[in-house]
Amino acid sequence: MGVEDPLATAAQAAREKVSAIFEPRAAVPPDKLISIDQEGVEALRLLFEQAGFRLDDLTPEQKDSLRKAPKDYNFPPFRADDLTVGRGPGMLEVMGELGVAELNFQCNGIGLKYGLPGIKRQPKSRGRGLFQTAGDLVSMVVFIEDEEYVQSLVHMINRRIGKGLWRKYKDKHVRAGICEKYGFGEDGPPKKLSSSLPGAVQELVTLLTEGMEFIHE
């Protein structure tokens, strides 16, 4: 019998835990929202580190860019067309310029696959909600010890999924259930909130933890 590799064993356990966290629910609205406890964040961080993300060498300014107070509908913007604003400086350090470019390209591809909406100034861009969710996940593992902030990020990931489900399903009764589940008002989710879908988020997490080719290339 070969010697067991503790790191490989830990990584496999982390992969299984993260997979279970982001597994899509069949019901609409889902019977359970995404929930991430401290062990889940630790598992996610381990997978990010193994994928090549630089999480420990951020300058105070880069770290602050990932942590600025959220607006009422969103967290610090993460824009592919201007990485000097919002989370851009921090994400550049964590992923590298080619890594961020690859992320943007892949998010658009996943967004197209799931029919996520584009935006007026970039009608061919379908990955804004996923791009923002990637920023949420990176911020989560950077600020792993701040449980309150981590849970606020989990809440935002769920809200984006709720917005995506609300856009997808037009039946008024289904929409009412979505609004109740995700804490939206009678008028639906905020207009400026970006959207995602459960399956799309699952593919994004798999991409970030297993499928990125150009991290710090």
Closest-CA residue to 201 (of 54, 36, 68, 13): 36
Q: What is the pLDDT of residue 49?
A: 94
Q: Is residue 1 part of a domain?
A: no
> Picking from 31-35, 172-176, 210-214, which range would have the lowest pLDDT averaged per residue?
210-214
Alpha-carbon distance of 77 to 80, in angstroms, equals 10
Q: Is residue 109 part of a domain?
A: yes
Q: Is residue 143 part of a domain?
A: yes
Q: What is the pLDDT of residue 73?
A: 43
Q: What is the pLDDT of residue 124?
A: 58
For the chain, the average pLDDT equals 88
Q: Please enumerate in sequence order all residues whose Cβ is within 8 A of that of 89, keeping only pairs 6 or more positions apart, or say none.
A: 61, 62, 65, 83
72 band by pLDDT with thresholds 50, 70 and 90: very low
Neighbours of 30 (CB within 10 A): 18
Number of domains in the chain: 1
Q: Is residue 75 part of a domain?
A: yes
Q: Is residue 216 part of a domain?
A: no
Q: Is residue 15 part of a domain?
A: yes
The tokens for 144 are 């792993």
Q: Is residue 118 part of a domain?
A: yes
- 14 close to 48: Cβ distance less than 8 angstroms: no
Q: What is the pLDDT of residue 68?
A: 66
Q: Is residue 68 part of a domain?
A: yes
pLDDT digits (tens, 9 = 90+) for 79-138: 667 788 888 899 999 999 999 999 988 999 999 999 887 655 555 567 889 988 999 999
pLDDT of 180 over the 80 cut: yes
Range of the domain at 99: 6-211
Q: What is the pLDDT of residue 1?
A: 52
Alpha-carbon distance of 159 to 167, in angstroms, equals 12
pTM: 0.90
**Cα dihedral across residues 44, 49, 50, 53: positive or negative:** positive
